[in-house]
């Protein structure tokens, strides 16, 4: 039996890739049997346990070098990033509190923040904005699946019947990690590329046909962070996606945001971490007059907690600034 190479033994965050795939289950209730249901439930449980163990082993190794990781991320971050008249699209229910990040804490969270994924994984919020209205709408609605495969993401966004509120925002962030250049990931990749997994977990991966590639280059990590189906892991396996884990590390380093290219328009988007506004001069504010005097127009070091409050709770604070 041939020896397993070091390259084959070292894996990144789990993903079901490679030639061997589990057989999909279609219309199980209509065509399957009770035994099929039992087998599917058992198989799903095994997969979820595998992905949790995979996540846990890598999380432990990240924790061991957390100080170095934070230092590398901060060293690569851009200082004093300012933006003017960018656009934020939110669900209509948040129309009177458009600087709320409450929606990002639901399942599955956002690309760069962890929502209600797993009680053992801390959640944290993010505000998402884009450079223009088209990008903001497509990022919010254009990623929804359409039954008509002929529709572009822009057409999906324009035909989506969901009510949206779009506001213009301006702000300044003390430090931002720029994902528009893969080279900014180089020092971070140098820290994590030596991670390993146990032999037991490797064997389980072979059993499930779970094959992942070792991240050796910044370009490989960039591809992993910007995949279209990032929500697969939190929604199916109850573990954060690679991009969410990366956002957790950036936020943990005290960096106020991540700038990244939209997968749909290629234009700049920002994931902003309001919790890091504390003890900083960072802020984000609405550009125009509001429909109600109780709408909060600015978030900064003094009131960043408003981002995690409901509209009703914010309105209850009328007169407090």
**201 lies in a domain?**
no
What pLDDT score does 23 carry?
Answer: 46
Domain count, the chain: 1
**Tens of pLDDT, residues 109-148:** 999 999 999 889 999 999 999 999 999 999 988 665 555 5
d(CA 205, CA 15): 10
d(CA 5, CA 188): 24
**199 lies in a domain?**
no
Q: Are 162 and 243 in contact (CB under 8 A)?
A: no
For 283: left if phi > 0, alpha if psi spans -120 to 50, otherwise beta; the answer is beta
Give the residues across from 175 on adjacent strands. Answer: 79
What pLDDT score does 149 carry?
Answer: 60
CA-angle at 73, arms to 67 and 78, nearest 5°: 140
**282 lies in a domain?**
yes
Residues 222-239 as b/e (b if ≥16 CB within 10 A, e otherwise) read bebbbeeebbebbeebbb
**166 lies in a domain?**
yes
Q: Are 162 and 192 in contact (CB under 8 A)?
A: no
Those residues of the chain that have pLDDT short of 50 are 1-29, 320-321
Angle between helix axes 218-225 and 242-252 (nearest 10 degrees) is 110
**112 lies in a domain?**
yes
What pLDDT score does 176 carry?
Answer: 98
What pLDDT score does 32 carry?
Answer: 62
Q: Are 174 and 280 in contact (CB under 8 A)?
A: yes
**10 lies in a domain?**
no
**136 lies in a domain?**
yes
Range of the domain at 309: 72-193+218-315
What contacts 26, CB < 8 A, 6 or more positions away?
none
**302 lies in a domain?**
yes
DSSP 8-state secondary structure symbol assigned to residue 240: -
Give the residues across from 166 on adjacent strands. Answer: 89
pTM over the 0.75 mark: yes
DSSP 8-state secondary structure symbol assigned to residue 17: B
What pLDDT score does 1 carry?
Answer: 39
What contacts 229, CB < 8 A, 6 or more positions away?
none
Our CA dihedral for 106, 108, 110, 113, rounded to 10 degrees, sits at 80
The DSSP line for 80-118 is EEEEEEEEEEEEGGGTT-TT--GGGGSSSEETTEE-SS-
């Amino acid at each position: 039996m041939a020896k397993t190479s070091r390259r084959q033994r070292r894996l990144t965050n789990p993903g079901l890739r490679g030639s061997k795939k589990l057989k999909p289950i279609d219309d199980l209730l209509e065509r399957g049997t009770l035994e099929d249901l039992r087998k599917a439930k058992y198989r799903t449980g095994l997969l979820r346990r595998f992905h949790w163990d995979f996540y846990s082993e890598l999380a432990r190794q990240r924790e061991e070098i957390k100080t170095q990781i934070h230092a590398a991320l901060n060293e690569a971050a851009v200082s004093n990033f300012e933006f003017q008249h960018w656009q934020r699209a939110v669900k209509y229910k948040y129309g009177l509190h458009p600087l709320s990040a409450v929606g990002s804490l639901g399942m599955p969270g956002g690309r760069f923040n962890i929502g209600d994924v797993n009680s053992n994984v801390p959640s944290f919020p993010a505000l998402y904005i884009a450079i223009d209205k088209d990008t903001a709408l497509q990022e919010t609605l254009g990623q929804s699946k359409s039954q008509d495969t002929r529709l572009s993401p822009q057409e999906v966004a324009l035909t989506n019947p969901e009510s949206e509120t779009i506001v213009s925002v301006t702000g300044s962030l003390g430090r931002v990690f720029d994902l528009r250049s893969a080279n900014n990931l180089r020092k971070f990749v140098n820290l994590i590329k030596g991670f390993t997994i146990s032999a037991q977990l490797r064997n389980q991966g072979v059993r499930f046909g779970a094959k992942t590639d070792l991240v050796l280059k910044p370009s490989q990590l960039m591809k992993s962070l910007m995949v279209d189906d990032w929500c697969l892991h939190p929604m199916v396996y109850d573990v954060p996606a690679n991009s969410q884990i990366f956002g957790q590390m950036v936020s943990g380093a005290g960096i106020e945001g991540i700038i990244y290219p939209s997968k749909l328009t290629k234009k700049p988007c920002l994931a902003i971490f309001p919790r890091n506004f504390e003890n900083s001069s960072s802020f984000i504010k609405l550009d125009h007059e509001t429909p109600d005097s109780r709408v909060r127009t600015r978030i900064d070091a003094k009131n960043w907690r408003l981002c995690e409050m409901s509209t009703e709770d914010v309105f209850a604070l009328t007169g407090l600034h």
